């Protein structure tokens, strides 16, 4: 009877300890990636016991999902990322480190249009479409009288946005408008979280898909209390 009671107490302690460890580790990582992606994120730790994984203050793998990620000015990005070999520190210098990472990012035409409409010139953009056959994005300006075509390509780990066509009834569009659109699209496709770089890019019927990958990266201390939760996470084991 006594042995059974002790065993039950030990099980309860382990379950409680596991629940606490998962909570503080998830809180730490959620704070970090919320700041990296600029939106709410869903962080998942996997099925293995965190108490076992955290013996050396490391989490082997986590997945991060965001349905409304923001890279620079870009809004409406869907992000599915995986980070491996996360070491939590939570000290005065950094929250921890990541061994490697990769992410699949989708930026749909609706998100691109919403991003552009939020700019000072946004009222001039009437529609956004994508053409997978030639890898271009087309922006209709005004009542379908003008269009502006760009092609995003990867150069040295980042996305370069090339202007292919900018005309209205055979005449060139205003330089400020062209430059403004290119800058917003480029900024949205050139800002990557946790030190990742662009590896592949594909223009689809619905927008742009990016695959990113990165190596070792230092997680900075979060601005909104994330360091406190990371300190707790580092001590959870």
Residue 167 counted as domain residue: yes
Residue 192 counted as domain residue: yes
Q: At 202, which helix (H) or strand (E)?
A: strand 197-204
153 to 41, 82, 132, 176, 210: CA distances (angstroms) = 28, 24, 13, 22, 11
135-139 LR contacts (CB < 8 Å, sep 24+): 135/202, 135/203, 136/164, 136/203, 137/112, 137/185, 137/203, 137/208, 139/181
Residue 113 and residue 205 in one domain? yes
Q: What is the mean pLDDT of residues 55-84?
A: 82
The tally of domains found in the chain comes to: 2
Residue 37 counted as domain residue: yes
Residue 150 and residue 196 in one domain? yes
Residue 156 counted as domain residue: yes
Residue 214 counted as domain residue: no
Residue 88 and residue 118 in one domain? no
Nearest one of 161, 133, 160 to 149, comparing CA atoms: 161
User: Looking at the predicted structure, is the pLDDT value of residue 226 above 50?
Assistant: no
Cβ neighbours of 33 (radius 10 Å): 28
Show the domain range for 191. 109-209
Residue 57 counted as domain residue: yes
Give the pair of three-digit tokens for residue 136.
């271009």
Q: At 196, which helix (H) or strand (E)?
A: none
DSSP 8-state code for residue 93: S
Q: At 143, which helix (H) or strand (E)?
A: none
User: Looking at the predicted structure, is the pLDDT value of residue 111 above 60?
Assistant: yes
Residue 46 counted as domain residue: yes
Burial of 230 (0-12, 13-18, 19+ CB in 10 A): buried
Q: What is the mean pLDDT of residues 20-27?
A: 69
Averaged confidence pLDDT in the chain: 79
Query: Which of 15-24, 35-44, 64-73, 205-214 has the highest mean predicted lDDT (pLDDT)?
Result: 205-214
Give the pair of three-digit tokens for residue 206.
């619905």
Residue 129 and residue 204 in one domain? yes
pLDDT > 90: percent of the chain: 30
Q: What is the pLDDT of residue 9?
A: 52
CB-based contacts of 190: which residues, under 8 Å, 6+ apart?
Answer: 71, 72, 158, 159
- Among 7-21, 23-37, 156-170, the minimum mean pLDDT is found in 7-21
Q: How confident is the model at residue 10 (pLDDT cuts 50, 70, 90)?
A: low
Q: What is the mean pLDDT of residues 214-230?
A: 70
């Amino acid at each position: 009877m006594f042995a059974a009671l002790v065993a039950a107490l030990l099980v309860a302690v382990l379950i409680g300890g596991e629940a606490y460890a998962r909570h503080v580790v998830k809180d730490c990582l959620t704070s970090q990636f919320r700041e990296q992606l600029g939106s709410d994120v869903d962080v998942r730790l996997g099925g293995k016991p965190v108490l076992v994984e955290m013996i050396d203050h490391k989490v082997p793998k986590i997945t991060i999902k965001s349905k409304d990620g923001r890279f620079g000015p870009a809004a409406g990005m869907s992000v599915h990322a995986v980070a491996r070999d996360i070491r939590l520190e939570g000290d005065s210098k950094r929250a921890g480190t990541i061994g490697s990472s990769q992410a699949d990012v989708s930026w749909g035409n609706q998100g691109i249009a919403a991003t552009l409409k939020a700019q000072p010139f946004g009222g001039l953009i009437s529609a956004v479409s994508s053409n997978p056959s030639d890898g271009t994005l087309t922006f209709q300006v005004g009542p379908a009288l003008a269009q502006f075509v760009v092609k995003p390509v990867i150069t040295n780990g980042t996305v370069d946005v090339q202007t292919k066509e900018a005309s209205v009834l055979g005449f060139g569009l205003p330089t400020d408008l062209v430059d403004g659109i290119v800058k917003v699209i480029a900024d949205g496709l050139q800002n990557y979280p946790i030190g990742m770089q662009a590896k592949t890019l594909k223009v689809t019927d619905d927008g742009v898909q990016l695959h990113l990958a990165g190596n070792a990266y230092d997680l900075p201390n979060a601005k909104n209390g994330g360091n406190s939760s990371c300190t707790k996470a580092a001590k959870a084991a």
